[in-house]
Amino acid sequence: MASTRAEAQPTGSKLWRAPFVGIVTLIAMLLSIGLAHAVMRAIEEALGHDLTYVVQLFLGAGAIVWLWYGVKSKNENYATWTGFFTGAIIWMTWVELFFMYYGRKNFGMMPRMDGGAVTSEPEYLIMTATTGILMFMLAFYIFDKDTRCNMFVWIQKVLGLREGLGPSTKTAKDRNYAIITFMEYIYVTWFCYAWNLLVFDPTFVGYGRDAFPAELASVFVSIIWGGYCFSRLMKYRRTSTAVRYGIPVANILWISVEIVSGWGIMTEIWLDPVQYWAELLVLTAAFVVLSAMIYFAPKKQSEIGR
């Protein structure tokens, strides 16, 4: 998982300092989530279900080849962005592909309906069932003595695990930032999907007004937790570290976006790329510009493998 340790040394640029680095990174990460939804919808609407399955297989394979190059790179900046983009592609293709294929085509499952409206597609019904595997992996990360994620380190201290686990066997130079960022993107996205799906699952929270307390509590937790993490992100000066930390911060805050949209307060334009193509084009341009700014921002020598 991402290290949450802010770098004390400045990069030499008067612009790329705290809190500017954290603010730009968070905006870029939030845009990436919405645009990922839009890309999935656009591909599906343009190609149809059957052809989408085939295309997604090849897109995922291409992402693995890209990840292979990133894993071999000693450039932390390049490796971090490689892990980010390949994680996003693999989630949108291989992960969602198989959930969609088995839910819709192979199993022929029906979506969950409420008053004639679709409330959850078949693939998400299957995804909710993977929560147990998700929690198993959470246990693995908690018991990993080499983790540098502050949340897991804090949990280890609270549970009195640090002495039993022993000192870490890895240094910062031993860390492969491509695979770390890749796995972080996959796991964080999976975790937040499960959180969101459980909140909207009537089996757990009920229908209509019965579900409102759980939804309101989730919005509260999302804003408080995400806001706290954002306050830490604004202290970052190393852009590579900020990107890795920005992934979970954006996903945690996105929970409140999903729930508020479900209340009808916001319009999820990323779910209808045909109707809102102009708005999404502007958001895409903003994401490209912000990402390029972060990638080409002044770097410490350690971030570029020197």
pLDDT digits (tens, 9 = 90+) for 111-121: 776 666 666 77
Higher pLDDT pick, 78 / 11: 78
From CA 157, how far away is CA 142, in angstroms rounded?
A: 10
Rounded to the nearest angstrom, the gap between the alpha carbon of residue 292 and the centroid of all alpha carbons in its chain is 19
Mean pLDDT of 74-89: 97
pLDDT bracket for residue 125 (50, 70, 90): confident
From CA 28, how far away is CA 219, in angstroms rounded?
A: 21
Structure tokens at 237: 């000066």
* Distances in whole angstroms, Cα of residue 188 to Cα of each of 90, 105, 193, 228, 247: 13, 27, 8, 17, 8
pLDDT of residue 10: 46
pLDDT bracket for residue 1 (50, 70, 90): low
Q: Are the C-beta atoms of 65 and 13 separated by less than 8 Å?
A: no
Minimum mean pLDDT range among 13-27, 32-46, 104-118, 275-289: 104-118
- In this prediction, what percent of the chain has a pLDDT beyond 90? 64
How many Cβ atoms from other residues are within 10 Å of residue 175's Cβ? Answer: 15
Length of the chain: 306
Of 158, 181, 183, 153, nearest to 168 by C-alpha is: 153
